[in-house]
Chains A and B, each alone.
Chain A
């Protein structure tokens, strides 16, 4: 393959829990994909391995690749991982005197039941709060007080601050300090003064101020967020600096952009100071990738579903927009940072199938066999039946040709253990039981998607379903049909979806001001709030090398009804700065959004409406990858047919002999009529009855309902 010698490659790498993915793209060339195992805690090694794997498919050396790379984009679970393994810095907390326990008492039981399933919640005696990231003896209260208007009631005692800082850093060995005072988001001056003291008295200590990291109301969540940021701060910074050095050493001289949980990129320098922004950036990238693919295919409404080994995750894009998570948590900690809403259940390929010992009622997950020992059929010592074992028993997988033939699956062992543990106790034949379990898994997934669509006022029938991850394409034919989606797309980039999202993201800076204004307020007042945010945003983007035409600014405002609790973030349509007339449209949009989300008749207008937060999303527009369009050929797919096999067909309720295809032998334009199975190097696509699969010009498999 002739590679152009000019610098125009974009390299994207995404570090996940198990695998690190890489994508290299250049205009006019096909997408190059690479994969390697993740290498915690020194993730950078896995990153380089995944790039090497992509470079190999291109026939290029590292040096050659990097010499021609103009942009390096990255996402990583490094912060999630730090929290999970409790491997962060020795952190201290400075807060308002009298409120030292805020972080520890977590608004009562909230920290105890937060993140638990219904089973956990029904069993309180067996539950506990997670150990806090900062124990009580590293928390110091300082004399200061600000009120609900931002008025200083009691000036900060600087001397007491110095004493507290010394005590924490010198006596307790603290390396990172979080600072969170009551109402600081209205008046950050005290927190800023504390930072000055720390820089003077204990320079080199990592500092996080709540007024920088999360300037929003609610002191518990704000404190928790600031603590998380301080705890993981140096690790995130060291990681990104190290990565920067590695790629520079290989000959790369361009920028390093890092994905955030809200679906935008930040330059590494800034990302390094906002560890909290890295949380859940992988799933966010997945949703962004899905949005871009949808745009390419003219679909603005997409359900993005990702089913891997342990979990099934889903996010929704509506009109090109997505929702932010309410009350997000990472591990067992609450935090407030804008984060794309992705919900999940423990239903993945490795999810363990079990029967309730008393009632024999079956369930799938949430326990998982993981990668080791993994499913029984992997032959690595797995003794418990998993969903993957079920899928092989219903005929969806080819025992001889899994992962391109690199592993032979032990179907007999899976069958015999499944018979003993599941089928016989249920009094069913092996096939019948496997079909039943498969249906339960599909139903659980349907219910999950229902939660993020129908329960939010969205109708799945208006949406296209994107299926990602190793296991999703096997099941999507069933739950996609039950939800009655418009059609299903299994993207060519399904196995590296998050990396694909990285290359389709923009640089995004999020700004916000917390302030309560009644409706109506004058446009002048609102514009005055946005002025300083716009100025800061423009300066920031200019600094990052964007000229005016390469930037875009989106305003959105949180509104709520005067006597109700819930706010809805409402995008401001039309021109900005706003005019008085455009505010009517804002209120109409808010009311429509509110009713859509919370139900007809849920709005209570009589007490009036107020605006509570003003948000600015500032974009530095990035060039979108142009995916190579191949020529569309004929429909005849027979050249790709490799045989026939009995597979589970939902409409028939049993296994029916059907055609098996090899994806690599298909050409764009080929049509396959279901029921059928298509084996790809990294996954398997199952077409159900009344479903036709069409390989499009991007090599996506598009499933239509007939």
Chain B
């Protein structure tokens, strides 16, 4: 069993061990860089260090995501503070030889650019710094200190109060205040309660949760343990997509290490608090990101949602009160406990505190993982951090929120990014996928793409969603092929309204969203494709329907 002093001792030992090596070469081993063979780069660097006889001073370490995926594989060198891009195994000798001297200019990646210095890192602060496979490295970076503080100096009510005052809102997309959710579960009367981490990152175009789990898995486990202490749960589940093999492996090894260290299991840190975590694999069903469907899937059944209420906070997994939060939400907990709610509340906007991690992708120069304060404008994200659209093209729209979100046209790029503004624009924050489209993208095509997605991911339980999405898909196909009339477009709008209001769960309710938002801003693209053309309709009629 480990106590708080033991934790400090591990941290001190690990820091001393790391200090023995004056230099550290960090190689990104998250999925993006791995697929560009960063493991071979790491081996080559290790060989080069050995060959040049510098093992005693130089340490090669595999770390999580360094952020700029489009320039991978990435390698960072400390304390020279140099970042290398597109590194190949052949470059290893040169890199090692240059340490402490002039960096290798040929592959140097500038770090004093907005992509790096405009970001504010809370969730990702350890990503790319620590070795995700080493619990000691995490502890040496203040890991599990927040859990120790919560268990030994705070009551569960104080923990909840701290989270409430921080203003943290759920990062899974809905933006429900995390503290309120915790309060409800804490109030529920039951001997058995569960904490679930929703890592079923189904939105196509989003990879924030994957990166956090691959880069800093202990941070999520610590957040879950603190949540369990606050609400009175004994058992936790991480529900993670089977499509993320690396994240699964690292989570498994993190859970094992935490159990061995006595940070999960019975009598954690010498207190009478027991908590253990189990991993559950998804199997490729988008609807399982919906909380009631997710719980059905953990129970081993088909992942179909059920009507709410009762909410999971009262009647969740196996009928017991259950707290479900997303990966990024849990990753925010430890910093809030460590640095206090006031510090957290000082970042972001009035109603949206803290930061948000986005996965920047699509037609943009710098693709990768970014973390920005709430309230930053889309323009800053796209043009400054993202470096704009390649080949001198213009941004046409930014898609956020995946199949439940919408396309924000270029003229609204100055809107601040927070839950309310995005909703106002007919899109949503979503889990954090942000896809930039240039002038070559067809908006009808995009709407059709998302409808195909919703149609095939509909679980089939309720008719508005099962049949409605299929009919909307047919109509969109007809429009896209130039075979539709104005009447078809009207039908499509009616269907959007029906499916949105009559579906059982979030999937169906938000399935029309991509159509509605593209209709709102790019209706001319639809009209251009109609047989009876843009001239055949009365403009007043359109406006009336939009309202």
Q: Do A and B bind each other?
A: no
By a beta-carbon cutoff of 8 Å, the part of chain B in contact with chain A is none
By a beta-carbon cutoff of 8 Å, the part of chain A in contact with chain B is none
